[in-house]
Amino acid sequence: MTHYKRIGIENKRFHPYRHTFCTNLCKKGVPLQTAYKLMGHSSINVTARF
């Protein structure tokens, strides 16, 4: 049994979950600068685009 199935989450590739994580950070009011650092993007512009 996969980890996803065990915890009841749809099995997707890794990147959709990264996008969701970043979107949720922004929705909760986390500053873009902080989200950019947490995501490890090469530029804050990359974070802002998504």
Over the chain, what HEC string results?
CCHHHHHCCCCCCHHHHHHHHHHHHHHCCCCHHHHHHHHCCCCHHHHHHC
**In this structure, is residue 8 part of a structural domain?**
no
The residue type at 3: H
pLDDT per residue of the chain (50 residues) written in tens, 0 to 9: 577 788 887 777 767 788 889 999 999 999 999 999 999 999 999 888 87
**In this structure, is residue 9 part of a structural domain?**
no
**Which pLDDT score, from 0 to 100, does residue 49 have?**
85
**Which pLDDT score, from 0 to 100, does residue 1 have?**
56
H helix and E strand count, the chain: 4, 0
Alpha-carbon distances, residue 21 vs 1, 2, 6, 48, 50 (angstroms): 24, 21, 20, 14, 11
- What is the extent of the structural domain holding 37? 15-49
**In this structure, is residue 6 part of a structural domain?**
no
